[in-house]
A and B are shown apart, each in its own frame.
Chain A
Amino acid sequence: MNRHLRHPDRAGTPPRGRRSAAALLAAALLLGASACGGRATTHHKPGTSHEQATGSNGRLLTADDGSGNRLRQVDAQGAPEVTVAARPDSEDGWNVHLAVRNFRFTPDSVGGAALLGRGHARLFLDDHPLARVYGTWFHLPKSLLRTAGGGTRLTARLYADDHTAWAVGSAPVQATTTLGGATSTAPAPTLGTTVEISVHDGRVSPAPGRTEVRKGRTVRLEVRSDRDDTLHVHGYDKEARLPAGRTVTLTFTADRTGLFEVETHESGLLLTQLVVR
């Protein structure tokens, strides 16, 4: 925890004077564009095309952020700042918190022109893009981590509305934290049983077997199917959609004893049997 986390609202709001100036500037730009430019040639409002706008906010550098978005350099004084913290969730994955300074999340105007101190954040896992974030809190499910290929280094980087990355001194404004390590051994997962199953071409791997579960413990089923399907736990009547190629996690508490079958509905495959004693 750093000091920004304690005052997220204040930290996220730029100074009042700068804010109104920026708003006036934006209004002037919009008015000017619509007054002089006549009809726009596309359905996009002026300044909202897919091209990276070269607004007067900062200086576009030729360098990019590593994934094709150019950097937008601003003065260190009053530049956006970010710190990131992640803590394990009791059920699944991580809760990620971004603390920002001199920055506001503006999901409404994404795709528009870059305005200083506004935009969104992006999360990267070992430099692979993970998600775009429009707020300070974000739940990061394990399935998403797996889809991204796994990793432990979580980076949050701030972007302007036109998808250029804010930068100070030629380096993007970003913060990095490590997933796992000492904080990942949360008490909840150790009490439960995790079963990972994948279905490919009508074949279940690992081959259907029995999973012993102590009554009252948490069962986490992490299932990945190569076709759209429905996951069903008999007896507990838990169901989850299984979109093709995505890992779906179904978590529940095994509160009844017995032998219960976990299966897919469309393909009618038995995945495993839960032996709850």
Chain B
Amino acid sequence: MTALDDSGAVSVLAHGIGAQHDLPLSPFYAFAGAFAALFVSFLALGLLWSASRFRGDRAGRPLPAAVQRAADARPTTRIVVRALGLAAALLVVLYLVLGPADPERNPAPGAVYVLLWVGLVPASLLFGPVWRLLNPLRTLHLLVCRALARDPAAGRPLPPRLGTWPAAAGLLAFTWLELVAPDPASSTALLLFLALYSAAQLAGGALYGARWFDRADAFEVYSGLLARLSPLGRRPADRRLVLRSPFNGLDATPQLPGLVATVCVMLGSTAYDGFSDAPSWITTVQTSALGRTTTATLGLLAAVALVAALYALCAGATRLLSGQLPHPLTAFAHSLVPIALGYLVAHYFTLFVTEGPRTVMVALGTDNPASPGPPLGPGGVATLQVLAIVLGHVLGVVAAHDRSVRLFPPGRAVAGQLPLLVLMVAYTIGGLALLIA
């Protein structure tokens, strides 16, 4: 891997794409954010309800029947959306194979790293788990099954211990490509990744049926986790589309094996993205005797491992304080999703609003257009970043509080959630520190 370093590759040490980064946060904003997070945490401990309020999947106000019919209409809406997903994927592959080699003139890297990876965040927050419908691999699997006159759902049952571990691995592989790989925006790298990823996913689909994608497709799981915070949801009991509080959506996150790993990869990779902008880390990478790619890979793995180790430590402390828990590790993992969302918004907002339109312009035929200027000034971006991180923290604290009053006996609920509160404060202050760095 280190041999690639000498190949004259264009250095992209931070994002896979994008020419500009946000300004480092001024300490004023960071301190304001940190104090707000601490304040809210202890306020929550003392003032929030003492009996669980969230009803998870059973909650929600059904949408009018007409909306439901339009959304579920099989020949029109769903097929059109599936066809769009497949067509977009085909276009990206064609651009990668036939398009210009210069990443500035080829819309494919932007389509993958900005429109897909970052764009999934707002799309999932607004419309729910959209990638489930758009996923070209799922559509491809469906088409092949149709052609073979086979039931797409047919296949071996998934091993119960598998959970979302394949998705966590897929996310790690993708973030490695984006943040660590020597030349992430090159057509070769992207084609290689997409080919390997598609092959693995389609093989899994052939073996286990369409349910494989629910658990193992990195982007479906990612989109699904973020969609837990969407006001739009589907009630499993009666398949109705409902408007619901994000807390109820979050509360209904299935506690699958691998959930903690998935969330830790989301947090750790975003943290590494922030960290990898710091000149001190860049110096380390540039001067390391191990070679750049190896050092950066170790950095990414260390970031994920640190996030996971802190979480495991916290879960252990929770168990010590409050006795038996059925699944001590996964019981609170859902409350980290809003924190990860805060990290994502803080790190990728500017990238999305500048490189997203630029990618579309390139795809529409403009040759190497300039990115549109950021819509927010430096102060606006800093405020948004701090608000996103603190708001994610607040949502996480509230979600964890409700879960702990449900799981713990009343006398131990406050003590039981202390380790988690400390962990969240650590993640939040860590996230703010990364924005200063």
Q: Is the CB of B13 within 8 A of A258?
A: no
Q: Is the CB of A237 within 8 A of B19?
A: yes
Q: Complex Cα distance A156/B424, Å?
A: 71
**Interface size, B (range):** 20 to 34
Residue of B8, B9, B23, B279 near A258 (CB, 8 A) is B23
B277 within 8 A of A: yes
Q: Complex Cα distance A269/B11, Å?
A: 7
Shortest distance from the beta carbon of A68 to any chain B beta carbon, whole Å = 43
What residues on B are CB-neighbors of A209 within 8 Å?
Answer: 279
Q: Complex Cα distance A277/B25, Å?
A: 11
Residue of B11, B20, B22 near A263 (CB, 8 A) is B11
What residues on B are CB-neighbors of A19 within 8 Å?
Answer: none
Q: Complex Cα distance A259/B277, Å?
A: 10
Shortest distance from the beta carbon of B360 to any chain A beta carbon, whole Å = 20
Shortest distance from the beta carbon of A151 to any chain B beta carbon, whole Å = 34
Q: Complex Cα distance A273/B287, Å?
A: 17
A257 within 8 A of B: yes
Q: Complex Cα distance A260/B18, Å?
A: 10
Contact mask for chain B residues 15-38; partner A; CB cutoff 8 A; 1 contact, 0 none: 000011111100000000000000
Shortest distance from the beta carbon of B18 to any chain A beta carbon, whole Å = 9
Q: Complex Cα distance A260/B24, Å?
A: 11
Q: Is the CB of A203 within 8 A of B9?
A: no
**Interface size, A (range):** 20 to 34
Q: Is the CB of B279 within 8 A of A273?
A: yes
Q: Is the CB of B23 within 8 A of A275?
A: yes
What residues on A are CB-neighbors of B9 within 8 Å?
Answer: 268
What residues on A are CB-neighbors of B57 within 8 Å?
Answer: none
B282 within 8 A of A: yes
Contact mask for chain A residues 20-39; partner B; CB cutoff 8 A; 1 contact, 0 none: 00000000000000000000
What residues on B are CB-neighbors of A277 within 8 Å?
Answer: 23, 378
Residue of B20, B279, B283 near A234 (CB, 8 A) is B20
Q: Is the CB of B19 within 8 A of A275?
A: no
Q: Is the CB of B19 within 8 A of A234?
A: yes
A259's nearest neighbour on chain B, judged by CB, is B21
What residues on A are CB-neighbors of B11 within 8 Å?
Answer: 263-265, 268-270
Q: Complex Cα distance A258/B20, Å?
A: 6
What residues on B are CB-neighbors of A269 within 8 Å?
Answer: 11, 286
Shortest distance from the beta carbon of B389 to any chain A beta carbon, whole Å = 18
Q: Is the CB of B23 within 8 A of A259?
A: yes
Question: Beyond A256-B373, A263-B11, is A270–B24 a contact (Cβ under 8 Å)?
Answer: no
Residue of A259, A270, A276 near B282 (CB, 8 A) is A270
A93 within 8 A of B: no
Shortest distance from the beta carbon of A217 to any chain B beta carbon, whole Å = 16
B377 within 8 A of A: yes
Q: Complex Cα distance A277/B23, Å?
A: 8
Contact count A vs B, C-beta below 8 Å: 68
Q: Complex Cα distance A204/B287, Å?
A: 9
Question: Beyond A207-B279, A208-B286, A263-B11, is A268–B20 a contact (Cβ under 8 Å)?
Answer: no
B182's nearest neighbour on chain A, judged by CB, is A268
Q: Is the CB of B286 within 8 A of A204?
A: yes
A235 within 8 A of B: yes
B162 within 8 A of A: no
Q: Complex Cα distance A259/B351, Å?
A: 12
What residues on A are CB-neighbors of B283 within 8 Å?
Answer: 204, 207-208
A210 within 8 A of B: yes
Q: Is the CB of B13 within 8 A of A235?
A: no
A266 within 8 A of B: yes
Q: Is the CB of B377 within 8 A of A270?
A: no
Contact mask for chain B residues 277-295; partner A; CB cutoff 8 A; 1 contact, 0 none: 1010011001100000000
B377's nearest neighbour on chain A, judged by CB, is A257
What residues on B are CB-neighbors of A268 within 8 Å?
Answer: 5, 8-11
B12's nearest neighbour on chain A, judged by CB, is A268
Report A171-217 residues with CB < 8 Å from chain B CB. Answer: 202-204, 207-210
Q: Complex Cα distance A266/B9, Å?
A: 7
Shortest distance from the beta carbon of B161 to any chain A beta carbon, whole Å = 42
What residues on A are CB-neighbors of B286 within 8 Å?
Answer: 202-204, 208, 269-270
Q: Is the CB of B279 within 8 A of A260?
A: no
Q: Complex Cα distance A266/B24, Å?
A: 28
What residues on B are CB-neighbors of A208 within 8 Å?
Answer: 279, 282-283, 286
Question: Beyond A208-B282, A266-B8, A268-B9, is A259–B287 a contact (Cβ under 8 Å)?
Answer: no
Report B375-397 residues with CB < 8 Å from chain A CB. Answer: 377-378
A209's nearest neighbour on chain B, judged by CB, is B279
Q: Is the CB of A235 within 8 A of B20?
A: yes
Report A7-54 residues with CB < 8 Å from chain B CB. Answer: none
Report A239-277 residues with CB < 8 Å from chain B CB. Answer: 256-261, 263-266, 268-270, 272-273, 275-277
Question: Beyond A269-B11, A270-B282, is A260–B20 a contact (Cβ under 8 Å)?
Answer: yes
Shortest distance from the beta carbon of A218 to any chain B beta carbon, whole Å = 19
What residues on B are CB-neighbors of A261 within 8 Å?
Answer: 13-14, 21
Shortest distance from the beta carbon of A221 to any chain B beta carbon, whole Å = 16
Q: Complex Cα distance A241/B1, Å?
A: 28
Shortest distance from the beta carbon of B274 to any chain A beta carbon, whole Å = 12
Q: Complex Cα distance A261/B18, Å?
A: 11
Report B283-310 residues with CB < 8 Å from chain A CB. Answer: 283, 286-287
Q: Complex Cα distance A259/B14, Å?
A: 12
Q: What are 7 pairs between A and B in contact, CB < 8 Å?
A: A210-B24, A259-B21, A259-B277, A260-B20, A268-B8, A270-B286, A277-B23
Which 8 A/B pairs are nearest by Cβ-Cβ distance?
Answer: A268-B11, A259-B21, A235-B20, A235-B19, A258-B20, A208-B279, A234-B19, A270-B282
A residues apposed to B, CB below 8 Å: 202-204, 207-210, 234-235, 237, 256-261, 263-266, 268-270, 272-273, 275-277
